[in-house]
Chain A
Amino acid sequence: MKLKGSFWLAVFFLALGLFGIIQSLTFVYWESMVLPLAVSIIIFVLAGVEVVKELRRRGDGEKDTAKDSEHKVENRRLGLILGWVAGFCLAIYLVGFYISIPVFTFAYLKWRRRSWLVAVIFTVVLLAFSYAVFAIGLKVPLYKGLIFGAR
């Protein structure tokens, strides 16, 4: 039986607790050590309990092919959307908000098979809204991007 995501999340907490304990012990003064150490120990112990619970549950379930294929579809959707978000963040970092917003919005809507007219109108409205609210209304200078000289 394959191990589930809940098991790996519990293992993540366990590793985090262990890392916290090891790191805390390197802090020079007791004032900086006491709470991080106590909290890390609690995380480690609780995560240990969860890992044991997950391992006990491991053999209980039966293989469900329908559920597995549903999970595959969900994971594919999640992977795609994470790609979109990461790409958008990277685009903002490189070319700033004013170029990334229209490019991302238009590309995303076309990817979702919206018509050219709808995609263009929505992109323009969203860009105008962002500019009106943040640049004019709140007078917040939005990030211009690494390529255009922002740091």
Chain B
Amino acid sequence: MLEAYGTAIATLFQPINLLILFAAVIVGLIVGVIPAIGGLATLPLILPFIFRMPAEIALILIVGFHAVIFTSSGMTSILLNIPGTAPSAATMVDGFPMTQRGEGGRAIGAAVTSSMAGGVLPVFLALAMVPLVLPLIIALGQPEMAIMILLGISFLAALTGGSITKGLMAGMLGLLLSFIGYHAITGVHRFDFGTIFLYDGIELVPLVLGLFGLSELFYLIMKGETAIAQKAITKLSGVMEGAKDVWRHRWLWFRSTIIGYVIGIIPGIGAEVANWVCYGQAKQTSKHPEKFGHGAVEGVIAPEAADNAKEAGAMLTTMALGIPGSSVMALFLAAFLMVGVTPGPAMMVEHLPLALTLLLGIALANIIGGVICLFAAPQLARVASVHFDFLFPVILIVALIGVYVATLSPMNFITVLAFGILGLAMKVYGYSRPALILGFVLGGLLERYSLLSIKIYGPLFFLRPIPLTMLIVMALLLSYPYLKRGISNLRGRLSGT
């Protein structure tokens, strides 16, 4: 085992590998900053070029590229209120109000430091805990996975909407949208109106770009904004202050990192749920929960730590079990196979040094990316004070090119426009857009796990111990505001009498 660690370190620190990693980090940082593009849309563009590369170089390239996307994507959430990637939407909730308050630099400092450190620690956890986590992953069957997805949607619905009812409705709409198209199990066409355009369902990229990218543009223009944050440049000295904030809230950062890492290990749901779960726990454990949503730095630290932490967990699951830990990890799976490495338990035996090299590569990429972001943050922060007349064409053009690149269909401009309008209405009237996205992304998995659970365990599959516990947690979460109100009313009456 120690020999494998030695080989991994020696491989990673070969000059060519370091050079590739550095270049990949730079590209990854740039891609992460471009609003709503993210790794899911750009990683497939790299795959055709890695065919003839040696496995270690090809995989170091994609690991370095992907590892830092979440580090820089938080910046667009903070500065533009547009998530660089779908999961970084959680950072917007408090990051953007900080920018509006003139603390964009501080928010970026906190986000980058938290993200960087959150990307390094879990790698060492992954390296140390491989033998311990495998039995836990295997113990989660289809019923647990199905209920886990519902738990994730409920969390989002409860935390991000104007009300729980509206949040749940948005999550359910996401699920319903995910059912559109050809149903592979039965061959039934659902909600596609007999059109070829909807045969494979709605594409994720135009949906995300419409719901977040375009709707934000529409909202800002509707409100007559001229510049997104006039104060952004004056407070850029706060970048280091933000880094210190992470130290001040080190236990919150540590908790979020561990939670993110553990959620990341669970196949299929990590990427989308981890940020919001960590945001939720930060709010619930805070002494000042009322400050969340209005620019609390803890609301930036928690999701950013989880954002990168979950990737190490997801990577571990992908390599150790051959099950993608997130949507992007599904593309990683394809990349592994393309260069002749089959992920799964065999990989941990036959290619252990390579697996360790990639895990260490994530840590090194995060350190390089974090340092670059800390030094380049002032320049990036200037984006926030550019007049909106110039930002509007740039964002619109990049978004529409992104839609075309991801789908190769100009018809999806209709999709992006439709979801832009829906996203605006949801934003204005307090419906949770993140819940919709999560429902949409996980709808297919939920259906597969549910149907398998019904077939294996019967229709009452959710009465098994772990799913039942999860359902109780979900019920408590959804009824918490009503319970709290009821208890305070009761206390009021008792103290009155």
**How long is the Cα–Cα vector from A150 to B404 in the complex, in angstroms?**
13
Of the residues B45, B165, B410, B428, contact of A92 by C-beta under 8 Å: B410
* Choice from A40, A86, A109, A142 contacting B404 with Cβ under 8 Å: A142
B172 lies within 8 A of A43 (CB): yes
Q: Are A89 and B413 in contact (CB under 8 A)?
A: yes
Q: Which single residue of chain A is at the shortest CB-CB distance from B392?
A: A108
Residue of B whose beta carbon sits closest to that of A4: B429
Contact A126 B393 (CB under 8 A): yes
Check B400 for interface membership: any CB of A closer than 8 A: yes
Residue of B172, B218, B405 most packed against chain A (CB within 10 A): B172
- Say yes or no: is B166 at the interface (Cβ < 8 Å to chain A): yes
Kindly supply a per-residue 1/0 record for chain A positions 91-128, scoring 1 wherever the CB is within 8 Å of any chain B CB and 0 otherwise: 01100010001001100110010100000001000100
Cβ-based interface call for B133 (8 A): no
Would you list which residues of chain A between 42 and 88 have a CB under 8 Å from chain B? Answer: 42-43, 46-47, 49-50, 73-75, 77-78, 81-82, 85-86, 88
Pairwise interchain contact B224-A77, C-beta atoms closer than 8 A:
yes
Is A32 touching B401 in the complex (CB atoms < 8 A)?
A: no
Contact B168–A46 (Cβ < 8 Å): yes
Judge if A132 is at the interface, Cβ distance under 8 Å. no
Residues of B within 8 A of A109 (CB): 389-390, 393
- Give the distance in Å from the alpha carbon of A40 to the alpha carbon of B77 in the complex: 32
Known: A39-B172, A85-B214. A104 touches B393 (CB 8 A): yes
Q: Is B447 within 8 A of A35, CB to CB?
A: yes
Report whether A143 and B404 are in contact in the complex, using a CB–CB cutoff of 8 Å: yes
Query: Is B176 engaged at the interface, CB distance under 8 Å to the other chain?
Result: yes
Expressed in whole angstroms, the Cα–Cα distance for A38 and B450 within the complex equals: 12
Contact between A86 and B393, CB atoms less than 8 A apart: no
A149 within 8 A of B: no
- With A85-B396, A140-B45 known as contacts, the answer to whether A78 contacts B222 (CB < 8 A) is yes
Q: How far is the CA of A82 from the CA of B396 in the complex (A)?
A: 12
Instruction: For A28, list chain B residues within 8 Å (CB).
Output: 186, 188
Chain B residue numbers with a CB within 8 Å of A36 are 176, 179, 190-191
User: Does B425 lie at the interface of the complex (its beta carbon under 8 Å from any beta carbon of A)?
Assistant: yes
From residue 1 to 39 of chain A, which have CB atoms closer than 8 A to chain B?
5-6, 9, 13, 16, 20, 23-24, 27-29, 31-32, 34-36, 39
Give the residue name and chain of the B residue nearest to A71 (CB): B222
What CA separation (Å) do A114 and B226 show in the bound complex? Answer: 13
Complex contacts, B446 vs chain A, CB 8 Å: 35
A9 touches B392 (CB 8 A): no
Smallest Cβ distance from B156 to chain A, in angstroms?
Answer: 15
B218 touches A81 (CB 8 A): yes
Q: Are B429 and A5 in contact (CB under 8 A)?
A: yes
Give CA–CA (A47, B426) in the complex, Å. Answer: 14
Q: Across the two chains, which residue of chain B brings its CB closest to A107?
A: B393
Inter-chain contacts of A150 with B (CB < 8 A)? 410
Overall SS of chain B's interface: helix
Residue in chain B with minimal CB distance to A28? B188
Q: Is B420 an interface residue (CB 8 A)?
A: yes
B12: min CB distance to chain A, Å: 26
The residue that B175 contacts in the complex, of A35, A49, A78, A140, with Cβ under 8 A, is: A35
Q: Please give the distance in Å from A7's CB to the nearest CB on chain B.
A: 9
A112 to B221, CA, bound (A): 12
Query: Contact mask B172-192 → A, CB, 8 Å, 1/0?
Result: 110110010001011010110
* Complex CA–CA separation, A60 to B190 (angstroms): 41
| Interchain nearest-CB distance for A4 vs B (Å) | 9
Closest A-chain residue to B447, C-beta based? A35
Inter-chain CA distance A29–B455, complex, in Å, is 14
- Distance between Cα atoms of A88 and B414 in the complex (Å): 12
Contact between B431 and A32 (Cβ–Cβ < 8 Å)? Answer: no
Cβ of B134 to closest chain A Cβ, rounded Å: 31
Q: Quick check: B413 and A92 within 8 Å, CB to CB?
A: yes
Closest to B168 in A: A46
- Minimum C-beta distance from B236 to chain A (A): 24
User: Within 8 Å of chain A (Cβ to Cβ): is B330?
Assistant: no
Are A77's CB and B221's CB within 8 A? yes
Say yes or no: B410 contacts A93, CB within 8 Å: yes
Contact A42 B401 (CB under 8 A): no
From A31, A40, A81, A89, give the contact of B222 (CB < 8 A): A81
User: Within the assembled complex, what's the spacing in Å between the Cα atoms of A3 and B72?
Assistant: 43
B417 close to A (CB within 8 Å): yes
Is A32 a contact partner of B420 (Cβ separation < 8 A)? no
Q: Smallest distance from the beta carbon of B312 to chain A beta carbons, Å?
A: 27
| 0/1 interface trace, chain B 366-395, chain A, CB 8 Å (1 if under) | 000000000000000000000001101110
Partner of A126, one of B165, B188, B221, B397: B397
A138 & B45 in contact (Cβ 8 Å cutoff):
yes
Chain B residues with CB under 8 Å of A93's CB are 410, 413
Q: How far is the CA of A136 from the CA of B283 in the complex (A)?
A: 45
Among A36, A104, A140, the most chain B Cβ lie within 10 Å of the Cβ of: A36
Query: Does B9 sit within 8 A of A, measured CB to CB?
Result: no
Smallest beta-carbon distance B454→chain A, Å: 8
The 8 Å CB contact of B221, one of A20, A42, A81, A138, is A81
A105 touches B393 (CB 8 A): yes
Q: Can you list 7 A-B contacts (CB < 8 A)?
A: A29-B188, A31-B185, A39-B175, A82-B218, A140-B45, A142-B404, A150-B410
Shortest beta-carbon contacts, A-B, top 10: A89-B413, A32-B188, A29-B186, A32-B186, A6-B429, A78-B222, A112-B389, A32-B183, A81-B221, A105-B393
* Beyond A34-B450, A140-B405, 16 additional pairs, beta carbon < 8 A: A9-B431, A16-B173, A27-B186, A28-B188, A35-B447, A36-B179, A39-B176, A42-B172, A43-B169, A50-B169, A82-B218, A108-B389, A108-B393, A130-B397, A142-B401, A143-B410
